[in-house]
Amino acid sequence: MKRCWNDWELAEHSTLFETEAPLVANRTDRGRIDVAVLLKYFQLNGRFPRQHRDVPGAVLAFLGEQLSMPRSPGSTTTCGVVAASATVNGFGPISAFGPSS
């Protein structure tokens, strides 16, 4: 998956649609971001990510914003991509793979 995303690409490939809302509903914040990331990654790549680094920080941040989960204040960006150490609502990238360090 590409690392640098522009706004149009994020909107085109990472927007959660109304029909997908039930998939992320009734979950904890951590569960909602996990399901959203796995869903959008699978839709774009036809497989699930192998490791948390497979998902660009910009995609994680974009999905987090849609789920009303703002980035942590200390996160930084590089070429429009949130750094790998960025978190959303206290959770690191794709927490389904275990805690990120």
Task: Please say whether the beta carbons of 34 and 79 come within 8 A.
Answer: no
Is residue 12, in this structure, part of any structural domain at all? yes
Task: Please say whether the beta carbons of 55 and 37 come within 8 A.
Answer: yes
Mean pLDDT of 37-42: 94
Is residue 64, in this structure, part of any structural domain at all? yes
Q: State how many domains the chain has.
A: 1
SS (H, E, C) 17-52: CHHHHHHHCCCCHHHHHHHHHHHHHHHHHCCCCCCH
Mean pLDDT of 81-95: 45
User: What are the tens digits of pLDDT across the range 4-14?
Assistant: 888 899 999 99
- The answer on pLDDT for 86 being more than 60 is no
User: What are the tens digits of pLDDT across the range 49-78?
Assistant: 998 888 988 898 899 999 988 666 555 444
Is residue 87, in this structure, part of any structural domain at all? yes
Cα separation values, 50 from 28, 42, 83, Å: 23, 11, 19
Write down the pLDDT at residue 35. Answer: 94
Is residue 27, in this structure, part of any structural domain at all? yes
Is residue 101, in this structure, part of any structural domain at all? no
Is residue 21, in this structure, part of any structural domain at all? yes
Mean pLDDT of 16-20: 94
Half-sphere CA count of 81, side-chain side, radius 13 A: 17
Write down the pLDDT at residue 43. Answer: 94
Is residue 1, in this structure, part of any structural domain at all? no
Residue 19 sits in which domain range?
7-96
Is residue 56, in this structure, part of any structural domain at all? yes
